A and B are shown apart, each in its own frame.
Chain A
Amino acid sequence: MTEAALPAPVAAPAVDRERLTAIGFVLPSFVIIAGVFALPLVLLLGVSIVDANGLTLAHYKRLLGTPYYLGVIWNSLRLGLLTTLIAFLISYPAAFALARARGPLRSVLLATLFLPLAASVIVKAFAWTILLRSDGIVNETLMALGIIEDPIRMIFTETALIVGAVNIFLPFMILPIYAIVAQLDPRYAEAAATLGASPVGTFFRVILPLTLPGIIAGVALVFSLSVSAYVVPTLLIGEKYPTLATMIAKAYLLAREPGFGAAAGVVLLGIAIAVVALSARLSQEPK
């Protein structure tokens, strides 16, 4: 009887100590995340649903009920979707090339990918304005070669915006895909081939599904970065392409409408969360 009862009081403190240790480890990061991320978001949410008269949904009604603002939301989505799609189309083959590269070539390629991350977004966006403006390098070169007679209008067009955004966010697509591709056992493709799959069949039935986690990570990163980009649209296209991010800045800094700005911020956050949650779902293994 005592034998059966004995282990319990001995084991209990050990488990408690383990739990305490675990809590001790988690606590600092919990405090940081709660204080630095969660609290401001709660405040943001709070500001978005009050005005001078108390609680209200007026800011959201204005944002989602006015065609102009719906256009702004669409601009943000369009920027995010186009940037993500084009970045993916460039990154997927690039990640394979990177994984195939050996020795010094691989180091050089990786360095060219990492180095731009060290430069500020503002610097890179300005660099694009210098390249693309009417008397910029691209136009001068094309005219010098006699390919065009008059400068093409590139800066402050959607093309400039997308080109700049793709360039700036590209590493965030290539790197996660590369991380998966570099781990991919070449035997999978060989096994598929010996089982009778053509190269195209092997790609769609084996390579693409196996690299999907990298694609999803890259898409989630690049989409959430580009949909909320502020510097890139401000410098490369400006007033005529208002996005949620540029509009939020204006609401706070110029119009002094923190409630409306906060509501736009919540919508933007909602879009980003939706995409990340969807990605997380997709990257879970089926069954």
Chain B
Amino acid sequence: MSEATPHLVVRGVSKRYGPTTVLDHIDLTIRRGELVTLLGPSGCGKTTLLRAIAGLAQPDTGKVELAGRNITNVPPHKRNVGVVFQSYALFPHLTVAGNVAFGLKVRGAARREIDAAVERALSLVKLGHLAGRRISALSGGQQQRVALARAIAVEPDVLLFDEALSALDRKLREEMQVELRRLLQDVKATAIFVTHDQDEALTMSDRVAVMNKGRIEQLAEPRELYLRPASLFALNFVGLSTRIPGTVLAADNGKVDVETKVGRMSALGNFQTGASVIVAARPEQLRLGEQGEANSAAGRVRSVVFQGSRTLVEVDAGAGESLLAELSGRDGAIPRVHDEIRLSWPVAETFAFPMEVQT
């Protein structure tokens, strides 16, 4: 099978629990060997989508295909998926090796084959020396690795991670993100991560699906997701931004002029004149002083947060609006709190989104 053929296809999958729509006609296609993250706040449906793929939740409508097979009505034990749960769900009555061997044993694999696969899986996660240990004798990070080895050992068609790193402490989590990505690429696994952690999503995935209210708002590569958010929700959920509401004065060929309380601005977007919009820009696009083809606004510095290689500066632009700039030391002097400054940012990096009606 070539790399480009769809490996996992989710088509029109919906799921309701009582009056709540948890999944709203989800379409998602994943290529073989791709690492995809479902990113969103709790209750957005990401875990339910993962469970629908695993067969642990039955969708009301729609279809799931895996490796060319329609698995919509196939029970989980015949799907050949691997799941790493948030709580790991390692079997406490079995040893590390017993846990990793479980999937092969229930498939009736030969003893020698099982031993070889267990050894291979445990050495992948660098836990070969703990094969005989009890689960309760392991640290959280080690348990995470055993859960991964157990899921990998059966060579599943897709690996599903349900908030699998969230139980680890920050430092360990960041190490595991990098290591896990490398490991999954090495074994050419197709994997889906569910997380609410944007850093995890950006670090680990080839593509990120931002989910909100049971829908995928944007499915894009991490870089594109950050630089070209498709919706206000995606803009808010991934990364920081300056957001100023306004009204469209003029619209022309993918560009709009917007009247805001802190001045007139130009932004990318297609709207009708008179539409209510939010003008937004990423903090690293904001610079001190004026620049050409740029929007600008002035105000008084409210806070300065030093973060090592960069400094976050929040400016009170008046009329209840604020600007957020990320300045690096190379740009010159970093302003101090209460300084009056002017910030500008390129029109080409300014987006306009429809004002969201709060429900």
Contact = CB atoms under 8 A, between A and B. Distances in A.
Interface of A: 185, 187-188, 190-199, 201-202, 205-206, 209-210, 212, 285-287
A198 B87 contact: no
A285 B92 CA distance: 10
A104 to B, nearest CB: 19
A106 B6 CA distance: 47
Interface string B63-93: 0000000000001111111110101011111
Nearest to B106: A197
B170 interface: no
Contacts of A187: 85, 87, 89
Contacts of A286: 93
Contacts of A285: 93, 134
A31 B102 CA distance: 50
A205 B92 CA distance: 12
Contact of A196 (B56, B77, B85, B160): B77
B91 A188 contact: yes
A223 B315 CA distance: 76
Contacts of A196: 77-78, 80, 103, 106-107, 154
29 contacts: A185-B87, A187-B85, A187-B89, A188-B89, A190-B54, A190-B85, A191-B89, A191-B150, A192-B91, A193-B56, A194-B55, A194-B81, A194-B151, A195-B77, A195-B82, A195-B151, A196-B80, A196-B106, A196-B107, A198-B77, A201-B77, A201-B106, A202-B77, A205-B105, A209-B93, A210-B93, A285-B93, A287-B95, A287-B132
Among B78, B83, B154, max chain A CB count under 10 A is at B83
Among A187, A193, A196, max chain B CB count under 10 A is at A196
A193 B80 CA distance: 10
Given A185-B87, A201-B106, A205-B106, A195 B150 contact: yes
Contacts, number: 79
A208 to B, nearest CB: 10
Given A197-B77, A285-B134, A192 B102 contact: yes
Nearest to B54: A194
A187 B76 CA distance: 13
Contacts of B95: 287
Give the contact-size bracket for chain B. Answer: 20 to 34
B317 to A, nearest CB: 49
B134 A287 contact: yes
Dominant secondary structure of chain A at its interface with chain B: helix
Contacts of A209: 93
Among A191, A201, A210, max chain B CB count under 10 A is at A191
B83 A191 contact: yes
Contacts of A191: 83, 85, 89-91, 150
Contacts of B103: 195-197
Given A188-B89, A188-B91, A194 B83 contact: yes
A199 B90 CA distance: 18
Nearest to A197: B106
A197 B80 CA distance: 11
Nearest to B79: A194
Contacts of A195: 77, 82, 102-103, 106, 150-151, 154
A99 to B, nearest CB: 18
Nearest to B78: A196
A202 B75 CA distance: 13
Contact of A194 (B76, B91, B93): B76
B45 to A, nearest CB: 18
B82 A194 contact: yes
Contacts of B93: 209-210, 212, 285-286
B273 to A, nearest CB: 54
Given A194-B77, A194-B81, A197-B102, 17 more contacts: A187-B87, A190-B76, A190-B83, A191-B150, A193-B56, A193-B76, A193-B77, A194-B55, A195-B82, A195-B103, A196-B77, A198-B77, A205-B105, A209-B93, A285-B93, A285-B134, A287-B134
